[in-house]
Amino acid sequence: MLQVENLSVDFRVDSGWIRSVDEVSFALDAQSTLGIVGESGSGKSVTALSILRLHARRNTRMTGRIVFDGEDLLAMPERRLHEMRGRDIAMIFQDPMHSLNPVLTIGDQIGETLRIHQGLNRAAAEKAAAGLLDMVRIPDAKRRVTDFPHQLSGGMRQRVMIAMAIACRPRLLIADEPTTALDVTVQAQILDLLRDLREEIGMAVILISHDLGLVAEFAERVLVMYAGELVEDAPARNIFEAPAHPYSEGLLKAIPSADVDMHRLYAIPGRIPDPGDRPPGCNFAPRCALAQPACSATPPALDTLAPGHRIRCPVRLAAREPAA
Amino acid sequence: MTDATVPPAAARAPLSPGAARRRILMRRLWRHRSFRLGAVILLVIVLMALAAPLLSNGEPTKMNLRARFAPPSADFIFGADNFGRDIFTRVLYGARISLWIGFASAMLAAAGGALVGLASAWYRRLDGVIMRIMDALLAFPAILLAIGINAALGPQVSSVIIALAAAYVPRMARIVRAAALVVRELDYVDAARVSGASAGRIIFRHILPNCLAPLIVSLTFVFAYAILAEAALSFLGIGPPPPQPSWGNIIAEGRDYSVEAWWIMLFPGLAISLAALGTNLLGDGLRDVLDPRLKIEA
Amino acid sequence: MPRLIAFRIAQAIPVMFVVAVLTFLLMHMLPGDPATLIAGDMADQDAIAQVRRDLGLDRPVLAQLWLWITNLAQGDFGKSLMLNQPVAEAVWERLPVTLSLALVAFVITIPVGIVLGVVAAVWRDTWVDSAVMFLALIGVSVPNFWIAILSVILFSVTLGWLPSSGYVPMGTDFWRWLASLIQPATVLALFQIGYLARMTRSAMLDVLDQDYIRTARAKGVSPRKTILKHAFRNTLMQVVTVSGYILSLLIGGSVVIEQIFAMPGIGRLLVQAIMARDYPVVQGTMLMLGFAFVFINIVIDLIYAYVDPRVRYD
Ligand SMILES: Nc1ncnc2c1ncn2[C@@H]1O[C@H](COP(=O)(O)OP(=O)(O)OP(=O)(O)O)[C@@H](O)[C@H]1O
Ligand code: SF4
Ligand SMILES: [Mg+2]
């Protein structure tokens, strides 16, 4: 259903153009689930926003192809894109506190999606909005439609965002860190809700998070991003049980879990390089325990490790190949 | 009373005395188009004002009855007024007074505003009273306050400066107070307090430098307003008194002849506009670079 | 809402009190003896003493302040020397002129300033933006009394389209009222239009950067609707907060404009009083204007509270 081919995204900054996402390719089947993980700044959000072309055109350059149902979203005229946004592909964002318009009622904001794409009138849209609020398990939905966002808690607002996103039963839902800003118990509820809605509507979901554990649990397939590049693309089970890329390994070790003493919590040493000054060769080399001189010489390619499993690390590839 | 023109200045990176940081700021400023244009315009005006004796006949008050109402020509490039005084010379010398009034009142307003704002932010018990007084003053548009104060002090250069400065102190005080309140809560101020630094030292060494960015930005805009306000006061007859020229009083004197001898009032008006334009451009650049969160001029 | 109104009025009382004290002090920091000034340089000792007694200047300062405040509380703003009339009455008679001028200028400023600011923000970084912002910059840089003179030369003297001076009360003839105001009000508005356009542009850019605008785009709202419905309302909210300030500035600016167009308003009264050293009028006019500004601020705050759901519901 969705094929992303060699997607690169550059932003204009004071000193010129910087590459934020670099030659990313992946595919997604209808009704499937895909996770994207990586530390902050690895390019997850930029990738996700590219699918709906939500970057400011003024200072962004996108190359490659993003094919949805046979149409290239990047080459599509604006008008056609507006039709698809919210109807075929919907998105929810990281920060529910700021993602809703403070001066419009939530009923208006949810209903707007339906008014645009299904031509409902205001009253019908409002009524449908109440139904959607019900669907995302907001109690007393009928009364809530006239509320303003500031009257709701963070978790409730994210439910409103979800209601808005699923209003037209899209075929693809992109959820960019939908739970990061929420506290732990609410996080679990929101993920459960997403899981149930996915079943019910039969939509594909891209779930973005920096928590590999959460993503592996939710998605069938996981992409690991580092410094704008895809470094591993594998079935969730593989990533979780036997991550191949040293960076994925680090992410896995860094997952906080109940039985690990918080003090021994692992963190990958060093930090992600800025888009402006990435190292030559492998981006991860400065932080990688397995790094060899050759790693800093040439940028490694994304190669197939096993069917359906790609990694960007020649060292690991060489080590595993005989065994495979 | 919320003065909506002054958005709360949020925490910002301290303007550290590091020379490197200053150099980076200077480079970013210079790359800013409107800053560059404004700086050049102002510089030219200031240099012309300083070089007035060299550029003109050097006698702004010298009358020449034969040249009464002489239109612009090779001899009088801006023409002459009803007393035959050379307008070009008067505009150049007027620049000295007008720019001085603008500069002095902006600096005085900044100093006064900084003191009041810092006192208000640091001595919390004074805050209520001080801010009520500032609110009361802020209720008045600055020009009206300046008219009132100037009416009391009489028409002299010094009273115009005091009146304009006093009129802009409340705005500056609010800006400084907002910035200081943020800085006050930062760790290193606590650290300084714990280590026994005196209040004065903390305020002037640690807090004030962090309020400088918004202060400098609004100082620039106040300079522009003060030039315009001086002109308005002079026009109303309560500015610097003739015959010494200020941009405002040249226009006031030329007003009666504005139809027949338009040049008398045209050129000083252009000078005011250009000076204010240059200052505003400069201020826009300073704001964008030093304090992007400060949305509107003070 | 009623609670908010009560609260705002309660809050305004100390401010009005301070305004009253400040205007009192203003006239008492006069260099020299006001009684001598008022009675005139030629007056003899008796006349000066008489003036002093009339104005209560022979009493201690605090007693005078007390008298000033208690008189105010009874609606007595002092008595004009040159007009032989209570200050309140003199101001009241001239109020319609100044109010007409300021309000017409306000009605011009708000839509024009907002539209310019929005247009510049929407076409950000294009030539449209540059052109509009350059005009706005000119607006805040050019002295309005100077433009007023030029405008009179062009529209009144040369073209003869508009009256060059005077004021026609609305009751006399609405159209002539408007004609007498259109030129002064437009000139008066120029600065505020520039100010508002600059402020609206930056507010709008700020709003366009917000997450909820991205949300709107993500659900397929057209660019036009995104701007008109989602961004514009939030921008207006910020414009409301400065509109009181703009109205105050317009009233302040009318002092100068009334001089040029010979309009018998409060500003004219104030300047005449300053020239005639009619200090009670200066004092009383300043004070009444101060009260008016406090009142405007309250009204704006209440409007804001009404239009912003975040405040309305708390
Ligand atoms: N509009 C922009 N202009 C310039 N640089 C940008 C822009 N948006 C993102 N970037 C840069 O692109 C890189 C990737 O950012 P992105 O938001 O995709 O990270 P992320 O993986 O989503 O991280 P997080 O977990 O913090 O959301 C970052 O270095 C960021 O600074
Ligand atoms: S290529 Fe080298 S540096 Fe990069 S991840 Fe593999 S081993 Fe580490
Ligand atoms: Mg992100």
> Any idea which architecture B25-50+84-290 has in CATH?
Orthogonal Bundle (1.10)
As a whole number of angstroms, the distance between CA B2 and CA A305 comes to 64
Cβ within 8 Å, pair A98-C212: yes
CA of A291, nearest ligand number? 2
If phi over 0 gives left and psi between -120 and 50 gives alpha, with beta otherwise, what is residue C301? alpha
Residue C12 lies in a domain: yes
The residues, ordered by sequence, that sit 6+ positions from B87 with a Cβ below 8 Å of its Cβ are B76, B78, B79, B80, B81, B250, B263, B264, B267, B268
Across A82-86, A90-94, A183-187, C267-271, least confident range: A183-187
Q: Is-contact C8 C302, C-beta < 8 A? A: yes
Across A109-118, A143-152, B280-289, C2-11, least confident range: C2-11
Residue A164: pLDDT over 50? yes
List subunits contacting chain A, requiring 3 or more Cβ pairs under 8 Å.
Answer: C
Q: Using alpha carbons, select from C170, C171, C168, C144 the residue that is nearest to residue C255.
A: C144
User: C211 and C151 in one domain?
Assistant: yes
User: C50 and C149 in one domain?
Assistant: no
Tokens of B95: 């620049």
For residue A20, give the 3-state DSSP assignment: strand
User: C122 and C59 in one domain?
Assistant: no
pLDDT at B5: 38
The structure tokens 């007056």 sit at C43
As a whole number of angstroms, the distance between CA C207 and CA A9 comes to 24
pLDDT at B115: 92
Residue C84: pLDDT over 90? no
Burial of B50 (0-12, 13-18, 19+ CB in 10 A): middle
As a whole number of angstroms, the distance between CA A306 and CA B49 comes to 79
Q: What are the sequence ranges of the domains in chain B?
A: 25-50+84-290
B2 contacts on C by Cβ (under 8 Å)? 241, 297, 301
Compute chain C's Rg from CA coordinates: 24
| pLDDT confidence tier of residue B40, bands split at 50, 70 and 90 | very high
Cβ within 8 Å, pair C308-A164: no
Cis before residue B53, ω within 30 degrees of 0? no
Q: Using alpha carbons, select from A60, A57, A196 the residue that is nearest to residue A137.
A: A196
| pLDDT confidence tier of residue B13, bands split at 50, 70 and 90 | very low
As a whole number of angstroms, the distance between CA B103 and CA B118 comes to 22
Phi, psi of B255 (to 5 degrees): -60, -40
Handedness of CA A130, A131, A132, A137 (dihedral sign): positive
Across A20-29, A131-140, B15-24, B289-298, least confident range: B289-298
Of all protein residues, whose CA lies closest to atom 8 belonging to ligand 1? A46
Query: What distance in Å separates residue B89's CA from the closest CA in chain C?
Result: 20
Q: What percent of chain B has pLDDT over 70?
A: 90
Going from the Cα of B285 to the center of ligand 3, the distance in angstroms, rounded, reads 31
The mean pLDDT value for B118-143 works out to 86
Tokens of A78: 């604006």
Ion ligand 3: residue ranges with CB closer than 5 A: A 45
CATH of the domain at C293: 1.10.3720.10
Calculate ∠ Cα B158-B160-B162, nearest 5°. 70
What are the percentages of helix, strand and coil residues in chain C, rounded to 5?
Answer: 80, 0, 20
Phi, psi of C235 (to 5 degrees): -70, -45
Phi, psi of A37 (to 5 degrees): -125, 165
Mean pLDDT, all residues of chain A: 88
Interface confidence, given as ipTM, is 0.88
For residue C15, give the 3-state DSSP assignment: helix
Q: What percent of chain A has pLDDT over 90?
A: 51
As a whole number of angstroms, the distance between CA A150 and CA A100 comes to 9
Residue C240 lies in a domain: yes
Calculate ∠ Cα A172-A250-A176, nearest 5°. 20
Q: Strand order of the sheet with strand A204-209?
A: A89-92, A172-176, A204-209, A33-37, A221-226, A229-235, A309-311, A303-306
Domain range spanning residue C225? 87-313
Across B9-18, B124-133, C236-245, C289-298, least confident range: B9-18
In total, the C-beta contacts within 8 angstroms joining chain A to chain C are: 77
The CA-to-CA distance between both ends of chain C, in Å, stands at 9
Q: Using alpha carbons, select from C190, C192, C200 the residue that is nearest to residue C129.
A: C200
Which chain C residue shows the shortest CA-CA distance from A82? C220
Residues with a CB atom less than 6 Å from ligand 2: A 246, 282, 284-285, 288, 290-291, 295, 300, 313-316
Boundary-marking domain end, from C73, C107, C133? C73
The structure tokens 């009751």 sit at C171
Residue C57 lies in a domain: yes
Q: Can you state the angle between helices C174-208 and C232-260, rounded to 10 degrees?
A: 140
Report the amino acid identity of residue B285. Answer: G
The mean pLDDT value for C187-194 works out to 94
**Strand pairing partners for C242?**
none
User: C24 and C153 in one domain?
Assistant: no
Best of C145, C192, C199 to mutate (most B CBs within 10 Å, chain B): C145
Best of C28, C33, C98, C146 to mutate (most B CBs within 10 Å, chain B): C146
For residue A37, give the 3-state DSSP assignment: strand
List subunits contacting chain C, requiring 3 or more Cβ pairs under 8 Å.
Answer: A, B
Residue C79 lies in a domain: no
As a whole number of angstroms, the distance between CA C313 and CA A19 comes to 45
| pLDDT confidence tier of residue C2, bands split at 50, 70 and 90 | confident
Total domains, chain C: 2
pLDDT at B3: 39
As a whole number of angstroms, the distance between CA C196 and CA C246 comes to 8
User: C135 and C280 in one domain?
Assistant: yes
User: C194 and C252 in one domain?
Assistant: yes
Q: Using alpha carbons, select from B177, B175, B141 the residue that is nearest to residue C294.
A: B141
Q: In angstroms, what CA-CA distances link A1 with A36, A42, A230, B275, C302? A: 17, 25, 20, 62, 53
Q: Is-contact B38 B75, C-beta < 8 A? A: no
Pairing state between β A2-13 and A60-68: antiparallel
Cβ within 8 Å, pair C146-B265: yes
User: C117 and C9 in one domain?
Assistant: no
**Strand pairing partners for A13?**
A16
Pairing state between β A204-209 and A172-176: parallel
Domains (range + CATH), chain A:
2-88+168-320 (3.40.50.300)
User: C38 and C133 in one domain?
Assistant: no
As a whole number of angstroms, the distance between CA A271 and CA A265 comes to 16
C49 or B34: whose pLDDT is higher? B34
As a whole number of angstroms, the distance between CA B100 and CA A11 comes to 46
Q: Using alpha carbons, select from B142, B62, B46, B88 the residue that is nearest to residue B250.
A: B88
pLDDT at A21: 93
| pLDDT confidence tier of residue A261, bands split at 50, 70 and 90 | low
